[in-house]
Amino acid sequence: NAGVTQTPKFQVLKTGQSMTLQCAQDMNHNSMYWYRQDPGMGLRLIYYSASEGTTDKGEVPNGYNVSRLNKREFSLRLESAAPSQTSVYFCASSELLSSYNSPLHFGNGTRLTVT
């Protein structure tokens, strides 16, 4: 049981380049999320998808787009990377959207550096 799988694990981009971070979960969860973790800032929500076919902005959506490809997969795209997007990105899933008995399950993260 793999849980939440993210690819790639590491990535270096030049300013202005684009890339897509992939995420897949095998727990049949309805909701999926993208977070970024920066030193001293904790985890901040970028986008989330309450269920297949829906996506919504989180706290820090600027510069990102997402696609909920199907129930299993939720991708995050950086169209024109900027140094401020250097961060560790975590994908997460939960059975229900931010429900009390539905804790988040996280992937192992993608460390992105933008030069």
Partner 1 sequence: DQQVKQNSPSLSVQEGRISILNCDYTNSMFDYFLWYKKYPAEGPTFLISISSIKDKNEDGRFTVFLNKSAKHLSLHIVPSQPGDSAVYFCAAHSRGAQKLVFGQGTRLTINP
- Chain contacts with partner 1 (rule: CB under 8 A): 4, 33, 40-45, 48, 50, 56, 58-59, 90, 92, 97-98, 100, 103-109
Query: What residues have CB less than 8 Å from 10, skipping those under 6 apart?
Result: 110, 111, 112
Minimum CB separation of residue 36 from partner 1 in Å reads 11
Q: For residues 17 and 102, which CB has a smaller minimum distance to partner 1 in the complex?
A: 102
Q: For residues 61 and 63, which CB has a smaller minimum distance to partner 1 in the complex?
A: 61
∠27-31-32 over CA atoms, to 5°? 85
Minimum CB separation of residue 28 from partner 1 in Å reads 18
The answer to whether the Cα torsion of 37, 24, 10, 108 is positive or negative is: positive
Minimum CB separation of residue 6 from partner 1 in Å reads 8
Minimum CB separation of residue 12 from partner 1 in Å reads 17
Q: For residues 17 and 36, which CB has a smaller minimum distance to partner 1 in the complex?
A: 36
Contact 34, 77 (CB under 8 A): no
Rounded CA separation 12/86 (Å): 9
